[in-house]
Structure 1
């Protein structure tokens, strides 16, 4: 399941706000991928702007990784920001849905908390 929001702001405006809001909520910005620029430089451009911001909450990461190292394959949380039909879309995969793959039901409350925080970060960036 995807969590999606739309805004009239530019991709870069949302990116900047998202990075600030993530840090304010205790998440670190692990990496930013300027996907459209990377593809253009490789000679295979796309016709819209796309940026992926990877964020991680050290507190939550430590707890889930202590329980199951395989969860690292779904980390850090990735938030895509891209243009679609004249709007900027902010999208991520729901942590609660991703957790189901790992069969760790006792981690569900933590996934719910991370999902709530991710939604707040995204909404406050619009």
Structure 2
């Protein structure tokens, strides 16, 4: 099973971030933060291509996962990365991998979260 889901887009990184924010809102999730890793690394003297990380959360899904195993909080909130590596890509970690990482978390528990994240990524592309 793939650990990440990624798609290419013809959008710029900035436009793709805006598209992700809109797709997150349309799906009923909340945006916690947008982190500009390129900016932070340049400030420390490192050259880096554009990469932004959008932290998002579904309260319903987060509550359900925390009620099953509080250690899953180590993987919260969900993140979507938008980056440039010759092309602009939008990617997210596949929550289905959590089923093998934490007791009490099954593939069925995270299938809807996984589907929501893939829908958000696809809508933003």
Computed over aligned residues only, the root mean square deviation of the Cα atoms, in angstroms, reads 1.1
Runs of 5+ consecutive residues of structure 1 not aligned to the other structure: none
**Residue 91 (structure 2) pairs with residue 103 (structure 1):** no
Map 1:44-59 onto structure 2 (within 5 A).
44-46=46-48, 48-59=49-60
1:100 positional shift? 1.7
Say whether the 8 Å CA contact 1:27–1:55 is kept in structure 2. yes
Map 1:65-80 onto structure 2 (within 5 A).
65-80=66-81
1:91 positional shift? 1.1
Report runs of 4+ in structure 1 exceeding 6 Å deviation. Answer: none
Runs of 5+ consecutive residues of structure 2 not aligned to the other structure: none
- Relative to the length of structure 2, the TM-score reads 0.93
Q: How many residues align?
A: 123
Cross-structure match for 2:123: 124
Say whether the 8 Å CA contact 2:69–2:103 is kept in structure 1. no
Say whether the 8 Å CA contact 2:92–2:121 is kept in structure 1. no
Say whether the 8 Å CA contact 1:60–1:110 is kept in structure 2. no
Q: Secondary structure at the match of 2:101?
A: helix
Q: Secondary structure at the match of 2:21?
A: helix
Q: Secondary structure at the match of 2:91?
A: strand
